[in-house]
Amino acid sequence: QVQLVESGGGLVQAGGSLRLSCAASGSIFSINAMGWYRQAPGKQRELVAIITLGGSTSYADSVKGRFTISRDNAKNTVYLQMNSLKPEDTADYSCAAAPSLSLLQYGGGSWGQGTQVTVSS
């Protein structure tokens, strides 16, 4: 019942920045946690960043200090600001939303279609 649409992916050189957006629609009243996952070929899917309804945030160690998750409630949109990008950040990034933090962490809830981020050396 929740639809998520990501945008903002692309190609960037190492050290550069990108901002991903995730717009939610549908039964958005049911969303209590949103986050960003990423997955590269041959690697396990990784939960990169989380933001809760109350505004609490958390990050994977691999991106801590470089990525920032935020939200604009008026636009029903969550953002992922990615700075100091590294080639290791290259992956398909997907937005997720769930009625609870635990469900989000387990991969449940709604998912967007994904957006590709490629960081060149």
pLDDT exceeds 90 at position 1:
no
Q: Report pLDDT digits (tens) over 19-37.
A: 999 999 999 989 999 999 9
- Per-residue pLDDT of 41-99, as tens digits, reads 999 999 999 999 999 999 999 999 999 999 998 899 999 999 999 999 999 999 999 99
Query: Measured between alpha carbons, how far is residue 108 from residues 39, 103, 118 in Å?
Result: 16, 5, 26
